[in-house]
Structure 1
Amino acid sequence: MTSTVPTILLIGTADTKSAELLFMRECIEAGGGRAVVMDVGVLDGAPFVPEITHVEVAAAAGKTVAEVAASGDENTAMTLMAHGAAKLAARWQAEGRIDGMLALGGTMGTDLALDVAQALPLGVPKVLVSTIAYSHLLPPERIPPDLIMVLWAGGLYGLNSLCRSALSQAAGAVLGACRQVRAPAFGRPLVGMTSLGSSALTYMKTLKPALESRGYEVAVFHTTGMGGRAFEALAAEGRFCAVMDFSLQELANQLGGSCVNAGPDRLLGAGRAGTPQIVAPGAIDMLDYPAWQPMPAGLEGRPAHMHNRLLASALSAPDFRRGVAAEIARRLARAEGATCVLMPLLGIEGWDRPGEPLHDPEGLAAFTDGLRGSIGSATRLIELDAHINDDAFCDAALRVFDAWVADGTVPAGRPA
């Protein structure tokens, strides 16, 4: 929590949204904060002087405002301004000059704001007031996992009581977040772990306390798309001393065209950072889809599990799983650090047991064969005569981890 006056980077186009920006500045100041306005508009004629002018934003992108305006059309111009705005925001945050971000816009402003929000670290408060908040127009891979969005109701043109309500709410949200946020301390070595809800995967119940007793902090990420994005973002930053990436169905979902995916970088962040990773194919047999929509084409007739009214999963075909195995092997082969794959031969999620709806020995065998045939020599493959939810799986994971601690691959834990 901050005991000082929160400084909010307030982003918008001062040439067209001056009334809204000034109102939000007023709300921030009335709430005890300070606003630093960044003008990302291309046109001159703002009725006030922003703290960060559009000239500075364009310069950060290596252009003059005139060059931005002459770049082609509004799309190319705003893309250039987004580049400059993201660079400036990241620099100001790294220098400790801002505590959070508040942006507003329609489709253009939202497009830009998503780039700026992506440039700020996980844990820095980010609020976006948008006319397309939570819209299907927003690609999931562009949404930072900790972004707060507020619908800008009635906010297309000018102030009114509806949009004042949304703008003031957003100002309060970012102020409150900046005051209450507790930045990650990273006092003990942090292990990143992936999993699903405990009805599908349960190993975290054993592994988390076991690792904590060894002097590590453990963060478990829910692999339903956004959780995997957060996991990969932190892994790419080198925040983890090691990862136990045991739930990879986001990767299977991406390869299968499901919207429940974590983007193209899944299973790459830790490897790029040189972080040791123990990997298992938890839940790669399932292709997820929104439960409120029809089963996707190509999955008709496959066994399925309705998890809740939001999420459903269908069993993928054996040939598809061979492809998933090959892709896992390809991504691990690019890793700069130690890699080990644990392959449970008796099942890879809770519904993959005899008598359960997604039990499929043929599909599991196809994946296992594909993994054996494609895994690189730099990756150790350990086959286990166990289910992924058995104690034997946890024991195997801890044996690998402890061996890496003993030989210095993973730093030793520290008491809390």
Structure 2
Amino acid sequence: MTVVIVGTLDTKGEEIGFARDVLRSQGVGVHVIDTGVLGDPEIDPDTTASEVAEAADTTLERLREDAERGEAMEAMGEGAAAIARQMHDDGELDGVLGLGGSGNTSIATTAMRALPVGVPKVMVSTMASGDTEPYVGAKDMMMLYSVADIEGLNQLSRKVIANAALAMVGMVTNEPDVAVADRPTIGITMFGVTTPCVQTAREYLEERGYETIVFHATGTGGKAMEDLVRQGVIDGVLDVTTTEWADELVGGVLNAGPDRLDAAAETGTPQVVSTGALDMVNFGPRDSVPETFEDRQFHIHNPQVTLMRTTPEENAELGEIIAEKLSAATGPTALYLPLSGVSMIDIEGEDFHDPEADTALFEALREHLADSVELVEMETDVNDEAFARAMAEKLDEYMQEAGLGPDE
């Protein structure tokens, strides 16, 4: 087993050497990648900083002489990612360990994000107690707060770094007894307000013989599903909950970026899509909502989550965006519209019930959707059992026709 350590050996050589020695003491091979730009390495690397720079189509000399710090960090991250990805493809990498401050955290986690889900990834970082989303993205990364700055070895840093190294030893030397299902896999998106729909659909699909993976549509959830579709891990998509597009458009905190809904369309993956939770934009606690939205309608989901109702104008734009995304699909695609409510709180008598806003959404979808997309409208809300079952049955039909069904 080989663990790759990514670090700036010109400033953190002593600490990286300590982590290397802990790993070696447990019988694990180590490959050290130097990402330092400022000076000479304090310990000998297996991959030099010059080689990392070259992997990013630049040179260490240019980065030292001409580049701003941010540009240099970005280049070294790209180079480390390319090297780590190649080592993994060649069977020479079993896990990645990084340690550092903001600079090497950015570099090392760039390399980690380039690797598939399942490859052990541990980052010891001074940034781990804050907002880690920019570092973790949608990958299965462990971040361990260093407590003290990673500057020299002491009774605290030795313990924290050793714990991280030993955690990595445990991951790379123990084969988990986890059965890998030899079944076609369906990715499903869910929010709390679309849970009944997803539960019904998931149960049906699993009874039919599919493996299902449910993604919480919190921004990173949508990104993770898109990534796994591109990797070929997911064979079909039941995109019940497209709410992340509302956050992307309006400025909420749970957006998945402008590429949401692209992966299945571009890869030809069979997909059945709906408008789940497009009635809401997500913010943190109520006092975190920007003042510009003070006159809007809100629903306090819990003390940490405030929901804001989307307007008819926003829904019209969302309909156009989603229709254009789906119309570009190269594989079988259906759009299901729940005409009586797109979420648990968008039905009659609930806080976000707004027929005008829903109508604007549905009309825009109808107007801009290509004929190649199968459009199904039902006089139910999204959580109705009949609606959920119909979506699941349609996806099963697409999967069978594509030769991807469980009976194929």
TM range (shorter): over 0.9
Q: CA deviation at 1:223?
A: 0.7
2:251 corresponds to which of 247, 257, 273: 257
Distance across 2 between alignment mates of 1:277 and 1:200: 18
Aligned residue for 1:226? 220
1:366-385, aligned counterparts within 5 Å? 366-385=360-379
Please, what is the CA RMSD of the aligned residues?
Answer: 2.2
Give the residue type in structure 2 aligned to 1:294. S
Distance across 2 between alignment mates of 1:352 and 1:31: 56
Distance across 2 between alignment mates of 1:402 and 1:72: 53
Alignment gaps of 5+ in structure 2: none
Aligned residue for 1:391? 385
2:404 corresponds to which of 400, 403, 411: 411
Q: CA deviation at 1:139?
A: 5.7
Aligned residue for 2:207? 213
Shift in alpha-carbon separation, 1:410–1:261, aligned structure 2, 3 A: farther
Q: CA deviation at 1:134?
A: 4.4
Question: Higher mean Cα deviation, 8-17 or 157-166?
Answer: 157-166
Give the percent of matched residue pairs that are identical in Structure 1 and Structure 2: 35
Q: C-alpha offsets along residues 134-183 of structure 1, whole Å, 9 cap, x if unaligned?
A: 434x6648624312111222224222222223212222333333335578
Shift in alpha-carbon separation, 1:294–1:185, aligned structure 2, 3 A: same
Q: CA deviation at 1:341?
A: 0.2
Number of equivalent positions: 407
Q: C-alpha offsets along residues 291-324 of structure 1, whole Å, 9 cap, x if unaligned?
A: 2643333432433222223222111111111111
Give the residue type in structure 2 aligned to 1:327. I
Aligned residue for 2:296? 302
Shift in alpha-carbon separation, 1:319–1:181, aligned structure 2, 3 A: farther
Q: CA deviation at 1:184?
A: 8.2
Question: Higher mean Cα deviation, 313-322 or 233-242?
Answer: 233-242
2:231 corresponds to which of 237, 242, 251: 237
Q: C-alpha offsets along residues 247-268 of structure 1, whole Å, 9 cap, x if unaligned?
A: 0111111111112112222111
Q: C-alpha offsets along residues 348-380 of structure 1, whole Å, 9 cap, x if unaligned?
A: 111112222222222111111111111122211
Give the residue type in structure 1 aligned to 2:356. E
Contact preservation (8 Å) 2:3, 2:96: yes
Q: CA deviation at 1:77?
A: 2.4
Give the residue type in structure 1 aligned to 2:22. C
Q: CA deviation at 1:217?
A: 0.6
Shift in alpha-carbon separation, 1:352–1:292, aligned structure 2, 3 A: closer
Aligned residue for 1:34? 29
Contact preservation (8 Å) 1:326, 1:371: yes
Aligned residue for 1:25? 20
Contact preservation (8 Å) 1:189, 1:414: no
Kindly indicate whether residue 303 of structure 2 is the aligned counterpart of residue 325 of structure 1: no
2:189 is paired with a residue whose SS is strand
Kindly indicate whether residue 310 of structure 2 is the aligned counterpart of residue 353 of structure 1: no
Aligned residue for 1:73? 68
Distance across 2 between alignment mates of 1:184 and 1:117: 24
Shift in alpha-carbon separation, 1:95–1:335, aligned structure 2, 3 A: same
Q: CA deviation at 1:44?
A: 5.0
Give the residue type in structure 2 aligned to 1:153. V
Aligned residue for 1:277? 271
Contact preservation (8 Å) 1:141, 1:262: no
Aligned residue for 2:6? 11
1:104 corresponds to which of 87, 99, 106: 99
| Structure richer in helix, relative to its length | 2
1:16 is paired with a residue whose SS is helix
Distance across 1 between alignment mates of 2:319 and 2:403: 26
Give the residue type in structure 2 aligned to 1:90. R
Shift in alpha-carbon separation, 1:220–1:182, aligned structure 2, 3 A: farther
Q: C-alpha offsets along residues 109-136 of structure 1, whole Å, 9 cap, x if unaligned?
A: 1221232122111221211112222434
Distance across 1 between alignment mates of 2:134 and 2:57: 29
Distance across 1 between alignment mates of 2:200 and 2:32: 48
Distance across 1 between alignment mates of 2:43 and 2:7: 13
Contact preservation (8 Å) 1:201, 1:349: no
2:96 is paired with a residue whose SS is strand
Contact preservation (8 Å) 1:9, 1:102: yes
1:230 is paired with a residue whose SS is helix
Contact preservation (8 Å) 2:3, 2:28: yes
Q: CA deviation at 1:186?
A: 5.6
Contact preservation (8 Å) 2:246, 2:310: no
Contact preservation (8 Å) 1:189, 1:413: yes
Distance across 2 between alignment mates of 1:298 and 1:73: 36
Kindly indicate whether residue 158 of structure 2 is the aligned counterpart of residue 160 of structure 1: no
Aligned residue for 1:287? 281
Distance across 1 between alignment mates of 2:30 and 2:261: 38
Q: C-alpha offsets along residues 364-415 of structure 1, whole Å, 9 cap, x if unaligned?
A: 1111111111112221111111111111112321332243244x22512159
Contact preservation (8 Å) 1:114, 1:144: no
Q: C-alpha offsets along residues 71-105 of structure 1, whole Å, 9 cap, x if unaligned?
A: 42333222222221110000111122111111112
Give the residue type in structure 1 aligned to 2:405. A
Shift in alpha-carbon separation, 1:148–1:321, aligned structure 2, 3 A: same
How does the TM-score come out when normalised to structure 2?
A: 0.93
Contact preservation (8 Å) 2:238, 2:392: no
Aligned residue for 2:83? 88
2:218 is paired with a residue whose SS is coil
Shift in alpha-carbon separation, 1:173–1:258, aligned structure 2, 3 A: farther
Give the residue type in structure 2 aligned to 1:93. H
Aligned residue for 2:137? 143
Distance across 2 between alignment mates of 1:311 and 1:191: 28
Shift in alpha-carbon separation, 1:40–1:34, aligned structure 2, 3 A: same
Give the residue type in structure 2 aligned to 1:39. D
